[in-house]
Chain A
Amino acid sequence: MRAIAILAGRELRDSLRNRRVAGATLLMAALSLTLTLLGSAPTGSVGISMLSVTIVSLASLTVFLVPLIALLIAHDAIAGELERGTLGLLLAYPVRRIEVVVGKFVGHTLVLAVAAIVGYGAAALTLALRSDAVEAGAWGAFVLLVGSSILLGMAFVALGYLASTAVRDPRTAAAMAIGLWLFFVLVYDMAVLGALVADQGRTFTPSLVTALLFGNPADLFRLANLTADSNVSLHAGLAGMAHQVPAGTALVLAALAAWIVVPLALAALLFQRREL
């Protein structure tokens, strides 16, 4: 436990020092503020809850941005330290390998949490200050958005570690990280959509589609946010989907958690067997 706390602390300090935290937070704050201000302009006068509109925009932004930030900070975790020689040194200290993986994971999660809470919090705060037309339920959806953004980030940090432990060269790990991002964020959904269109509903039953969505943490994130709140799903154009998908928010979040635990466990296992 002690070693995990020390390692997590170092990871966080490193990220603060080389301005990764500041960069990620600023990027998320800037983009979410832009979306908030632009997104509320056309609807503000009509008097709908602007927060739920913003949540839809933020959720779409998150799906692209958070996995990218997570993979950027995670892909170097093991392979990079191996190349710099600090990994061998670290393991010559009384530290178990599992503690190294978990410690780094906790540190990187904290980095993401700071970026998500501060970045999105800035947007929400601006909205709250600008108008009092925020529905009671919208705050719950906002908390869900921030929480599930962190979960999504954790899943991609774990996937990044998997890339980082699977190969020796940090450049290969970086290439794999880009590949992972492209696959889960862009290619996967297009492939599912393409298959759906080509299939014309013959073999793709709604439950099969749901199952396919569970095969991608980015889709799980969308499901969790865009279908949980009725107002949000209305704005997202997913009101129909919310009824189609039989999965409850709890189940979706549990699946997202599995997307964290399984890759992280695999990475830890690979690292345990790793020869330095």
Chain B
Amino acid sequence: MTDVTASLKSVSKRYASEYAVNQVDLALHAGERIALVGHNGAGKSTLVKLMLGLVQPTAGTIEVLGVSVGRGRGIAAHAGIGYLPESVVFPPALTAEEVMAFYARLKRCPVSGNAELLERVGLAHAASRRISSYSKGMRQRLGLAQALIGAPQLMLLDEPTTGLDPALRRTFYEILEELARGGVTVLLSSHALAELEARTDRIVVMNRGHKVADGSLAELRAQADCPTRIRVDFGHGVREFTCDEKDKAAVLKRALALPGELRDVEVASPSLDDLYAHFLRREAAE
């Protein structure tokens, strides 16, 4: 987890009058799954585009896969990056095979490897059909398949699960988990917070261009001092406790030691939704 695949140092991006990204420091490591959360306009997409060199930073330095990104440089890193833009419309008259062949050639990868990638995302059966006949989910699968071309070391996925049904999300996250186990850095931005909880190693919260929180879910809970709620049902009555995340174990032990016949215990740690709301409130208060 020490190999840095991408690093941003006090990076800012200003559009006309306001900062889309403001003084952000961020280091991504090999094998990490990072969720970039924040509401629309928080700077998530801009951050990804900065890493790709699609927009130029107003200030700060960006290094991706050992290549410094900026004014016309950074192309060298692209061979090792897989990118899925927020909304992409592939040419409807082409087939998935043709689209994949085009992108594989651009990345100088053998076209023969495409069949396996399409199989992996579950599109093998429709590979020779025109994209115009595809459902939203199938188009998204194709988007993921093209991002997987050339076994990239860094995956940048912008809102990849928007509009996907639950089963598809599951396969999506399974693929990402596999990739991370193989040492790939996976950065995905999303505002579907609930589904990210168990599926990422690290969460970066963005708000109005600022990075307001960065850490694992447990770390964020510790930072946020959002109360953990413990409900203990003794049959004759329900007792509720609230405590800090770090005191959870001690409080639970005491609760269980209370007299009475224990029927049910519920421990509700603050969800990512709670934490997100908390960080935004804190940011607003500052």
- Mark the stretch among A49-57, A91-99, A217-225, A228-236 that contacts chain B: A91-99
Which residues of A (81-137) have their CB < 8 Å from a CB of B?
A: 84-86, 88-97
Asked if A93 and B88 sit within 8 Å, CB to CB, the answer is no
A86 touches B89 (CB 8 A): yes
Interfacial residues of chain B within 76-112, with CB under 8 A of chain A in the complex: 76, 78-79, 81, 83-91, 93-94, 98, 102-103, 105-108
Q: Determine if B56 and A92 form an interchain contact, defined as CB atoms under 8 angstroms apart.
A: no
Find out whether the CB atom of B91 lies under 8 angstroms from the CB atom of A14: yes
Among A18, A86, A93, A94, the most chain B Cβ lie within 10 Å of the Cβ of A93
Given the interface pairs A6-B102, A91-B52, A276-B54, the reply to whether A85 lies near B88 with Cβ below 8 Å is: yes
* A93–B89 touching, CB < 8 Å: no
Closest to B102 in A: A10
CB pair A85 B85 closer than 8 Å = yes
| Chain A CB within 8 A of B191 CB | no
What per-residue 1/0 map shows which CB atoms of B127-171 lie under 8 Å from chain A?
A: 000000000000000000010000000001000000000000000
Whether the Cβ atoms of A275 and B72 lie closer than 8 Å is: no
By a CB distance below 8 angstroms, the chain A residues around B85 are: 85, 88-89, 92
Contacts of A43 in B (CB 8 A): none
B75 at the interface (CB under 8 A from A): yes
Contact A85 B87 (CB under 8 A): yes
| A276→B93 contact, CB < 8 A | no
Task: For the complex, count residues of B whose C-beta is within 8 A of A.
Answer: 32
Q: How many A-B residue pairs have CB under 8 A?
A: 72
Beta-carbon contact of B75 and A95 below 8 Å = yes
- Give a binary string over A52-68; 1 marks a CB under 8 Å from any B CB, 0 the rest: 00000000000000000
Knowing A17-B94, A85-B88, the reply to whether A93 touches B54 (Cβ < 8 A) is: no
A92 contacts B88, C-beta separation under 8 Å: no
Instruction: Report yes or no: B78 in contact with A94, Cβ–Cβ below 8 A.
Output: yes
Output the nearest chain B residue to A3 by Cβ-Cβ distance. B106
Q: Does A272 interact with chain B (Cβ within 8 Å)? A: yes
Q: How far is the CA of A86 from the CA of B83 in the complex (A)?
A: 11
Q: Is the CB of B107 within 8 A of A93?
A: yes
Residues of chain A contacted by B106 (CB below 8 angstroms): 3, 6, 90, 93-95
Interface core residue of A18, A90, A97, A275 (most chain B CB under 10 Å): A275
B231 close to chain A: CB less than 8 A: no
**What number of A residues sit within 8 Å (CB to CB) of B?**
24
Q: Are A272 and B72 in contact (CB under 8 A)?
A: yes
**Set of chain B residues within 8 Å of A92, measured between Cβ atoms:** 52, 54, 78, 81, 83, 85, 156
Which of B49, B91, B93 is in CB contact (< 8 Å) with A88? B49
Closest chain B CB from A234 CB (angstroms): 47
Q: Using a CB-CB cutoff of 8 Å, which residues 250-276 of chain A contact chain B? A: 272, 275-276
Which residue of A3, A13, A84 contacts B89 across the interface (Cβ within 8 Å)? A84
Contact with A along B170-197 (1 / 0, CB 8 A): 0000000000000000000000000000
B53 CB → nearest A CB, Å: 8
Q: How close is A125's CB to chain B, nearest CB, in angstroms?
A: 31
Residue of A nearest to B130 (CB): A17
Q: In the complex, what's the smallest C-beta–C-beta distance from B163 to chain A, in angstroms?
A: 14
Chain B, Cβ-Cβ closest to A91:
B54
Cα A96 to Cα B156 with chains together (Å): 19
A251 to B86, CA, bound (A): 50
A14 and B49 CA atoms in complex are apart in Å by 27
Question: Quick one: given A95-B106, A272-B72, are A85 and B78 in contact (CB under 8 Å)?
Answer: no
Q: Scoring A residues 33 to 51 as 1 if CB is less than 8 Å from chain B, else 0, what string do you get? A: 0000000000000000000
Chain A residue contacts of B102, Cβ below 8 A? 6, 10
Q: Which residue of A lies closest to B94 (CB)?
A: A17
Cα-based distance from A93 to B147 in the complex (angstroms): 10
Bound CA–CA A2/B106 (angstroms): 8
CA–CA, A85 and B122, complex, Å: 23
CB distance from B78 to the nearest CB of A (A): 4
> Which residues of B are found within 8 Å of A84, using beta-carbon distances?
88-89
> For residue A272, which residue of chain B has the nearest CB?
B72
List B residues at the A interface (Cβ < 8 Å): 49, 52-56, 72, 75-76, 78-79, 81, 83-91, 93-94, 98, 102-103, 105-108, 146, 156
Known interface pairs A6-B102, A276-B54; 20 further A-B residue pairs with C-beta atoms within 8 A, sorted by A's residue number: A2-B108, A18-B93, A84-B88, A85-B85, A85-B87, A85-B89, A86-B89, A88-B49, A88-B52, A88-B83, A88-B85, A91-B53, A92-B81, A92-B85, A93-B78, A94-B107, A97-B72, A275-B56, A276-B49, A276-B55
- Supply 23 A–B pairs (Cβ within 8 Å), ascending by A: A2-B108, A6-B106, A13-B94, A14-B91, A17-B91, A17-B93, A84-B88, A84-B89, A86-B91, A88-B49, A88-B54, A89-B88, A91-B52, A92-B52, A92-B54, A92-B81, A94-B78, A94-B107, A95-B106, A96-B72, A275-B54, A275-B55, A276-B55
9 closest A-B pairs by beta carbon, nearest first, are: A85-B88, A92-B83, A84-B89, A276-B54, A94-B78, A17-B93, A93-B106, A275-B55, A85-B85
